[in-house]
Amino acid sequence: MPRPALAVELSQASVTFGRGANSVPALAATTLRIPDGEFVALVGPSGCGKSTILRLVSGLVQPSAGVVIVGGREVAAKALRIGMAFQNPTMLPWLTIEKNVMLPLKIVQPFRAAYRQKKRSEFRDKAHALLAQVGLKGFASRYPWQLSGGMLQRANLCRALIHEPRMLLLDEPFGALDQFTREELWSILQDLWLSYRPTVLLVTHDLREAAFLASRICVMSARPGRIIDDAPVAFQRPRNIAMTFEPDFVALNQRLRELIVDARGAAQAEVSA
């Protein structure tokens, strides 16, 4: 079966929370098409609806109007296997890292059916291989509280990828980490993306992060958000941290920054008017 060319298709999709006089528009009518295997970053002022787009794609929120199609079908049908990771790594404290990483296999078919037979062999090896890839070799049987924040976030990435999702949704996954750990994890995430090639939708506040990782960046306006800029990022892969100090990269950052400052300014002018 050939893969659908578009992984995600939002057509005039909008989201409003609440009803009547108390309703809050979270996302203005948005149209966004993401081809399969692309790495898209969403940036914008806080509260602009970036996370809402993520929740739309994951099926956790239904659009108030418009259509959301993921993997060729409306989201409710769950046509695509989805992996998610948030800023808070939410590892279960009573399970070892290995068992935490294997959690999706316990839930998602076709792994679920074979979980009992393969949890000590094939699935365990799979978890160990992923953990080794993010530099957590030898930490599989540790408990979450024995690991640092950066290590937990690596394990979190493994958990998001263990069930071979076609779609990876990341909501500020590195937001709580220090600069150096964050940069290290960018490279790890890039490597993971290059080896598995899922479609990635990354929500972030960090413009350098967006420019380093994404193959395309969408800038959103202030609430209710809509996409005001959508441009590809042409830098060659694999990218490295040294690249982030080159003039082209800095220029891209500056352009993004100005767009967001303008969006915030426009929103504030509206409030005071």
**Binding status of residue 88 toward another protein by CB under 8 A:** yes
CB of 145 to another protein, least distance (A): 6
Q: Which of 8, 34, 84, 177 binds another protein (CB under 8 A)?
A: 84
**Binding status of residue 86 toward another protein by CB under 8 A:** yes
Q: Are 220 and 49 in contact (CB under 8 A)?
A: yes
Based on C-alpha coordinates, what's the Rg of the chain? 19
**Binding status of residue 2 toward another protein by CB under 8 A:** no
CB of 56 to another protein, least distance (A): 12
CB of 263 to another protein, least distance (A): 27
Measured from the CB atom, is 143 or 196 closer to another protein? 143
**Binding status of residue 90 toward another protein by CB under 8 A:** yes
**CA angle, residues 161, 162, 163, in degrees to nearest 5:** 95
One character per residue 113-142, x = contact with another protein (rule: CB under 8 A): ------------------------------
Span near another protein by CB under 8 A; candidates 37-45, 101-109, 175-183, 239-247? 101-109
Q: Which of 62, 117, 141, 146 binds another protein (CB under 8 A)?
A: 146
Measured from the CB atom, is 6 or 103 closer to another protein? 103
CB of 151 to another protein, least distance (A): 15
Q: Which H helix or E strand runs over 271?
A: helix 247-272
- The SS3 assignment for 154 reads helix
Q: Is residue 2 exposed (0-12), middle (13-18) or buried (19+ Cβ within 10 Å)? A: exposed
Task: Compute the 3-state secondary structure of the chain and give helix, strand, coil in percent, each to the nearest 5.
Answer: 45, 25, 35
**What letters, b where the CB count within 10 A reaches 16 and e where it falls short, cover 63-100?**
bbebebbbbeeebeeebbbbbbbbbebebeeeebbbbb
Task: Give strand pairing partners of 227.
Answer: 220
One character per residue 64-83, x = contact with another protein (rule: CB under 8 A): --------------x--xxx
Work out whether strand 73-74 and strand 82-86 pair parallel, antiparallel, or are unpaired. unpaired
CB of 93 to another protein, least distance (A): 5
* Contacting residues for 176 by C-beta, under 8 A, at least 6 apart: 87, 88, 149, 153
User: Residue numbers of the site for another protein (CB under 8 A)?
Assistant: 55, 58-60, 78, 81-86, 88, 90, 92-94, 103-104, 106-108, 143, 145-146, 159-160, 163, 169
